[in-house]
Structure 1
Amino acid sequence: MRIRRISFFILLCCLCWNVFAAEYQIKGVVIDKSTRQPLEFVNVLVVGLGIGASTDANGNFLITQVPPGIYRLQASFLGYKTELTPEYRVNHVTPYVQIELEEENASLNEVIVTASPFQKVPESPVSLRVIGLQEIEKAPGANRDISKVVQNYPGVAFSPIGYRNDLIVRGGGPSENRFYLDGVEIPNINHFSTQGASGGPVGLIDADLIRSVKFYSGAFPADKGNALSSVLDFSLRDGDMERNSLKATLGASEVSLSSNGHIGNKTSYLVSVRRSYLQALFKILGLPFLPAYTDASFKIKTRFDSHNELTLLGLGGIDRMKLNLGIEGEDAEYMLSYLPEINQETYTVGGVYRHYSQRHVQSIVLSQSYLNNRNVKYRDNDESSEENLTLRLGSIEQETKLRMENTSSWSVWKVKAGFDLNYSRYKSNEYRKVFTNALREYDYHTDLSLWRWGMFASVDYAAPDKSFTASMGVRTDGNNYSDKMKELWRQLSPRLSVSYRLIEGLTLSGHVGLYYQLPSYTALGFKGEEGEYVNRHLDYISVSQESLGLSWTPNENMELSVEGFYKLYGHMLFSLSDQIPLSCKGNDYGTIGNEALSSEAKGRSYGVELMFKWLLAQKLNLSSSLTIFKSEFKDGEQGSYVPSAWDNRFILNMSGTYNFPKHWSLGAKVSCIGGSPYTPYDVEKSSLVEAWNVQRRAYYDYSRYNQERLPVFGQLDVRVDKTFYLKKCMLGFYLDIQNITASKLRQPDALMSTGQIENPSAPLSEQRYVMKSIRQESGTLLPTLGITFEY
């Protein structure tokens, strides 16, 4: 309530202010991408405004009288490819823009065409989407969280159950994704991450630092390994080389403070610190868990000269999740019975050195990642006796990574080659009670060191008129975990992409590839009751992917595409106790993979995606997507396919943001997803006293795995933005309402113990609780008021 009063007071003051129609300027430089030399007489335009300027002898340009807003710039010059920049916010601290132009191979008398924001590259002509600044800032229902922004795109499912950001792409599990930050790989992009997977309730990366995001749902570049379902490649902003600025944001779940600027005339910086108030929000909503987090990130970039630069990056978070033991109700009682307390610390620091030598670019990437995950659970949350302890996990993952690569361009050809070297250490102290057919206790210590290596190369061809492109790549990976994992030929990963322009604006593209992923450290480091590594026999997980797409761009503002995909999994990790693939787990808090596994399961996911995007500069950002698909698995060669946990069958998203005069904008998003399959409970097993006391939640009857299905779910999100551009500052407000219709998803009743034993005179192994059912529904109307101030 206090926050709302303060926000209303600030808004009232701004409305009473004599705000003028501010205009700003854009400064920048245009250089040759190969020689790094400035280019004179380049025409630079602000897309959507029709105003611009030409560069001087030093390649500098200055565009004046630009209204505030978010814009792209278009640079064109005879003999060079027309370049369209990422989006930039124009205000009192408009960043200095550097544009790199690549020499054109076509004849000089050809007409220069307008660049399109719908990016296609020879290596990934299908399954690639580029997400810009405006979409990240104003996506309805996303609250500036990139994991939720991505859910607007084809093939990406969302879960109406729980407050999580798990990425489920094209029927693959949440453990099959990889993330990069300006070339540095980061293990996870969410707070409270599920160890062995990739999800969590809230994003780790501050949206104020992001320039753009490349989202690959297939056709992964050869230099980005270990991915099966998606790759998110983040590009961060550079610090401003002309001035220092400060920005404060009050968001959906946190308050953040960021700054960018320069140190001397060669080094820029970008830094952000955030602190959550999510625990207060969850307490108001009456949720049984109270998460709190802090994160910080930075980017420092030094340009030694026109041919050498060094970027230092850092990203870290501290997570604490306590249980809200003071609330009442059966729902709270049920969740409190099994949720553990979670404490995590994570960070990644890295450096990227680049040397530009005419047509060759050499890159060296060195990084260190760290995760310390601790989970504790006592029966009935009673810590007075160690007899009540059911889980104590202390787990550390450390990775040191080196990647070196060279990219060379000649005329219509581009060649990239390099190698990876990775030293990993996984340490775990785990005590855990498990009930399968009888009560078992695991109490072991793991200290696993692992060397990993990989090599990659790719060759791209693009016809001078871009009517035809082709890319062929290969990579291979190995490690010293086992003898067969050392053999590089077992993980040979070829891929081929082709694109052909049938007629002007209509392009047919395709891709085939084979990809591999190393099992998680939790799986590799798991020990049995005798203290031995029980999963030494595991293989790399594999998936072959085929995609075929047709895209139509009638003009530079509109795109309609249809794409079919087929994914065939091999050597899937299979839980020997539950008899389901490990990829069907990972969308809950805790840890996955620390169990006995095999590599015998197979799977497949296939479907068709339709996407429509309409972009009008300064006016409209509209996108719609429909995915129809199936996701299935089977154990070994025998038997029939069974629906996976991610087999929703269809996903529909319609999202749009319209910009009104006076810097108002209105956005809305309609989402609809098919019912998830689910497994009935094993009532007999769940009611056993020994079984229930270990897990404190019902056991599934995996003999009937995913034989039932939830109903279809849909929701409507709405967002309103208002921004004030003043002489020396910017003040913005937004109201984001998730699930404004308060749609509810009816789920199967939860099965829970009453605490009363129905046969107390029986032997302990035969005693059973009297069970009860608890009605389960999900779906909450969640309004958020956000404030942004930049000085």
Structure 2
Amino acid sequence: MNAKRRRESLWVSLLSILTLTVQAQTQTGRGRITDTQSGAGVPLATVQVLDEPTIGATADSTGTYRLSQVPLGRHTLKITSVGYGDQVIPDVLFTAGKETSLDVPMTERVQTAQEVQVYAQRPLDAIDKTLAVTGAHVFDMEQTRRFAGNRNDPSRMAMNMAGVVGNNDSRNDIVIRGNSPTGLLWRVEGIDIPNPNHFGAMGNTGGPVPILNSNVIDRSVFLTGAFPAEYGNAVSGVFDIRLRNGNPDKREYTVQAGFNGWELGAEGPFSKGSQASYLAHYRYSFLQLFQALGINLGTGSALPQYQDAVFKVRLPLGKAGEIAVFGMGGTSRITFEDEPVTNTLYPQGGEYSTYNTKMGVVGLTHTYSFGPGTSLRTTLAATGNSVQAVTDSITSDRRHYAQYGDGSSQYKYTVHSQFNRKISAKSRFGAGVILSYLGVNYADSTRETGQFHYLRHTTGQTGLVQTYGFWQGRPSDRWVLNAGVYHQWLALTQQHSVEPRLSARYQLNQKQSLSLSVGRHSQVGPLQVFFNQQDQPDGTETMPNQHLGFVFSNQAVLGYTRWLGKQTSLTVEAYYQALQNVPVSPTSPSYSLLNTGTDFLTPSATGLTNGGSGCNYGLELTLERTFSRNYYVMATVSAFDSRYRGSDGVLRNTLFNNQWAGNFLTGGEWKISRKTTLVADLRVAVAGGKRYTPADLSASQQTGTLVEQTNQAFEGQFPAYGRLDGKLTLRVNGKHAMREWYFDLNNLTNRRNIYSQYYSPSTGQVRYSYQLGRYPVFGYRILF
């Protein structure tokens, strides 16, 4: 009898252990179901795991839902609500260590008697929030991390989209449809921000390493032109980033080590049941390890050092609405010693230089609902960035002579308030105002002909007022019509601009749609350019660029989308952009501000006028199979032409006229065991070669430095760029944590892509520096 009881006790213990193991291999899904047009929660919406019929949840009065005990792995979710189009979301990933957060927007049906099913891989609902129907791409944290060669950088992820050229291994500048990267608008939590990259120059939008952290990004939108009225002061594109909220129910942690540095993250509730939450991530560079392993970082012996942080706090206030406090920022430093120019992407032969940058954003948002369909969102924020730089020339006896110095900073205080009103399923409207107070403190100088003179030396303030209004009409479930107007006024020049925006999408049938967007866009040039100084014969200094007006871009985009299945789509877009009022130089006929924005300096040209122009036109194709049944495929092809006219009226290629670009990306997942998954990704990127201005060899030999033939500006083109990247990831789900190892081998074939030309005094010839060869990027991440 005792033996029988012992056997029964043993079986009970084994079953208990098995039950605990099974329970440990589940995860919770959470999020909020919202109305696309109003942003309000959709109460009583149902969320069902289609491949696990017994698992489901019903949203509460605020649209919040919580799925419990979902088995680890990928699952398909279906969201339904009376009067709304169904949402089917395939392959949602559930892992150990961190709950799966998924907010889902739903569009109310105009004809409720008509059954309409919308697949979530068609990102129309999320895009409708920005009133965009062309050139719009929705992405989230998982997509940012997925593609090979991305380095967990949102900017490099965007380079895979049609119309974007990413043929620079050393920087993440986003070149859209032949435009300068300075034409891009970065926005975080509704606030326009300065350059969000380490070592990023003021006035530019790119850099070598991102400050934005892919682990904290929520579903966001990337727009490539003809964007809606809520966005302004940009002529090429918009990167609208949303930071996700921390988990309001459970504390979770992230530890990560990789190319971008060491990272620690934490999130969770302030108190049980309060729904108030926090999210914070900190990252510190440790590229010393990569250099010790002999990995070429493209900076020679110089060691990039940087750190950054991001946070968001969410505080629900009940009937008084909701408050969110957010912030991000980073510092960076690098020192270049005198070394052979062939070992680095940034030639520094005979020079010593240091380059330090800082960037920061802090803001507070209050969202208030006046009732169903009516809300007001107001954000107060402060942003700023600075550059500290020194360059010395080094003589043969190792003496240093100062050549250049920069100690500049700028800051901005902003209020952005947007009112949104949903009248019915057929109509909504909104209006907003952005008030910005800008302060500058510029102090940079250079040595010429043995004497120093200021490029800029000023302290001042100005204001920028931006207002906009929009209306969306949906006469039927087939039609979406958007109309809006944007206005801006700059106090410095007293200039106004009123810009209409129109767009429409028509659903031909369940598989095909047509779209059209037209609009006028304007942008204030980099503020530093306004304060460029010019020495006068009497010894005084003037600022002859103070009169410069806005750059204008009139844009039109025609798009066609055909669905080849529930997961596969083909999108074709044709566009034309006419740029006007572009700053050019009467004394340097080939100069145009359209060709700036991809280096670490701000243009110092003076005496500029708004007499230039430009045009961009092209055709783009995107074939995409979103992740489903354990694999995905995306192919993009772009053919375009980008031209400009300087002060002499001659039509020339822009610096960014690569003329064509293409990307092919694919990847898959295989379950090795119940806990372990192997992920493989592949990326092929090709593009027309970089444009350059041919060198004047005789003049270069006389001066000992590169002299270009400016009358042949950008007539030269390097050979085509090409790169093959591969990535392997091993994901292991434990009882209470998810561990992930990844190995990303960039430029698998070790192709030598030309980066730039330079003059070599030792050989008396023009030589080439090359982009990064084969180099590995590896990392480790644990969520618990």
Q: Given the two structures, how large is their TM-score scaled by the length of structure 2?
A: 0.88
Structure-1 residue corresponding to 2:578:
568
Distance verdict in 2 for CA 1:632–1:19, change over 3 Å: farther
Deviation digits for residues 716-772 of structure 1 (CA, Å, limit 9, x no counterpart): 100111111111111101110111111112467531334xxxxxxxxxxxxxxx834
Deviation at 1:470, TM superposition (A): 0.9
- In structure 2, the residue matched to 1:106 is 111
Cα distance between partner residues in 2 of 1:746 and 1:453: 43
Pick aligned residue for 1:404 from 417, 424, 428: 417
- The equivalent of 2:744 in structure 1 is 736
Following superposition, the deviation at residue 574 of structure 1 comes to: 2.0
> Superposition pairs for residues 525-674 of structure 1, below 5 Å?
525-529=531-535, 530-575=540-585, 578=588, 579-593=590-604, 595-617=606-628, 619-636=630-647, 639-662=649-672, 663-674=677-688
How far off is 1:20 after superposition?
10
* 1:606–1:630 contact (8 Å) kept in structure 2: yes
- Show the counterpart of 1:159: 167
Matching of residues 199-348 of structure 1 within 5 Å: 199-264=206-271, 265-282=274-291, 284-285=294-295, 287-288=299-300, 289-305=302-318, 308-325=321-338, 330-331=342-343, 334-337=347-350, 340-348=353-361
- Say whether 1:350 aligns with 2:363: yes
Write out per-residue CA displacement over residues 451-471 of structure 1, whole angstroms, 9 at most, x where no aligned residue: 111211111112332x11111
CA distance in 1 between counterparts of 2:195 and 2:333 reads 17
Could you list the per-position Cα deviations for residues 571-593 of structure 1 after superposition, in whole angstroms to 9, with x for gaps in the alignment? 11224565321221221223335
Aligned to 2:386: 372
- Residue 23 of structure 1, CA deviation: 2.5
What's the offset of the Cα at 1:367?
0.9
Shift of 1:439: 8.3
Q: Distance in 1 between matches of 2:755 and 2:363?
A: 44
CA distance in 1, matches of 2:475, 2:399: 72
Deviation of 1:598 after TM superposition, in Å, equals 2.2
1:36–1:306 Cα contact (<8 Å) kept: no
Q: How do residues 509-524 of structure 1 correspond to structure 2 at under 5 angstroms?
A: 509-524=515-530
Aligned partners of 2:347 and 2:64: how far apart in 1?
64
1:55 equivalent to 2:62? Answer: no
Deviations 1:131-171 (Å, cap 9, x if unpaired)? Answer: 133321221111211111111100110124x5111110110
The answer to whether the Cα contact below 8 Å between 1:632 and 1:643 also exists between their aligned partners in 2 is: yes
Aligned: 1:786 with 2:779:
yes
Percent identity of paired positions between Structure 1 and Structure 2: 21
Moved more, 739-748 or 56-65: 56-65
1:501 has 2:504 as partner: no
1:601, CA displacement in angstroms? 1.1
Give per-residue Cα distances to partners, 1:262-310, cap 9 Å, x unaligned: 1121421110100112355357346333211100110111111156111
Cα distance in 2, alignment partners of residues 306 and 89 from structure 1: 33
Tell me the SS of whatever aligns to 1:149.
helix
Cα shift at 1:213 = 2.5
Distance of 1:422 and 1:659 partners within structure 2: 47
The equivalent of 2:157 in structure 1 is 149
Instruction: Identify if the C-alpha distance between structure 1 residues 35 and 524 changes in structure 2 by more than 3 Å, giving closer, same or farther.
Output: closer
CA drift at 1:346: 1.1
Q: Number of residues paired by the alignment?
A: 739
1:26 correspondence with 2:26: no
Question: Tell me, what secondary structure is at the counterpart of 1:153?
Answer: coil
Unaligned runs of 5+ in 1: 1-17, 755-769
SS of alignment partner, residue 211 of structure 1: coil
> Alignment partner of 2:394: what SS?
helix
Tell me how far 1:258 sits from its aligned partner. 0.8
Q: Deviations over 1:298-346 (max 9, x none)?
A: 0111111156111111011011011144x55754594344674211111
- SS of the aligned residue for 2:84 comes to coil
Distance 1:50 1:210 in 2: 31
Distance 2:47 2:384 in 1: 43
Pick aligned residue for 2:193 from 186, 198, 204: 186
* Structure 2 residue identity aligned to 1:463: P
Instruction: Show the counterpart of 2:734.
Output: 726
Structure 2 match to 1:762 = none
What residue in structure 2 maps to residue 422 of structure 1? 436
Which of 175, 199, 219 pairs up with 2:182? 175
Pick closer, same or farther for the CA change 1:223–1:66 going to 2, 3 Å.
same
Distance 1:392 1:60, change over 3 A: closer
Structure 1 residues 646-655 or 249-258, which shifts more?
A: 249-258
Tell me, what secondary structure is at the counterpart of 2:770? strand
Q: What is the one-letter code of the residue matched to 2:473?
A: Y
Residue by residue over 1:682-710, the C-alpha shift from the partner in whole angstroms, topping out at 9 and shown as x without a partner, is 33443455xx5xxxx41322111112211
Residues 583, 609 of structure 2: 8 Å contact kept: yes
Q: Secondary structure at the match of 1:482?
A: coil
Structure 2 gap segments, 5+ residues each:
1-20
How far did residue 360 of structure 1 move? 1.0
Q: Residue 62 and residue 176 in structure 1: after superposition, are their counterparts in 2 closer, same or farther (change >3 A)?
A: closer
The separation in 2 between residues aligned to 1:598 and 1:101, in whole angstroms, is 49
In the alignment, is residue 701 of structure 1 matched against residue 709 of structure 2? yes
CA contact (8 A) 1:154 1:611 kept: yes
**Cα-Cα RMSD:** 2.8
Could you tell me whether the CA contact under 8 Å between 1:19 and 1:726 is conserved in 2?
Answer: no
Cα distance between partner residues in 1 of 2:599 and 2:480: 42
Conservation of the 8 A alpha-carbon contact between 1:334 and 1:752:
no
Separation of aligned partners in 1, 2:66 and 2:518: 45
Q: Report the CA distance between 1:38 and its aligned residue.
A: 6.7
Residue 104 of structure 1 deviates from its aligned partner by: 3.5
Match of 2:8 in 1: none
Deviates more, 1:654-663 or 1:717-726: 654-663
Residue in structure 1 matched with residue 10 of structure 2 by the alignment: none
Residues 440-482 of structure 1: CA distance to partner in whole angstroms, max 9, x if unpaired?
Answer: 83365211211111211111112332x1111111111111212
Normalised by the length of structure 1, the TM-score is: 0.88
CA distance in 2, matches of 1:587, 1:49: 50
Provide closer, same or farther for how the CA distance between residues 176 and 725 of structure 1 changes in structure 2, counting only shifts above 3 A. same
Q: Which residue of structure 2 aligns with residue 479 of structure 1? A: 490
Query: Could you tell me which amino acid in structure 1 is paired with residue 782 of structure 2?
Result: F
Measured in 2, the distance between the counterparts of 1:634 and 1:677 equals: 16
Worse-superposed segment, 354-363 or 50-59: 50-59
Deviations 1:156-213 (A, max 9, x none): 10124x5111110110011111111222222122111022211100111111111222
- Find the residue that maps to 1:290 and give its secondary structure: coil
For the residues of structure 2 that align with 1:45 and 1:20, how far apart are their CA atoms?
19
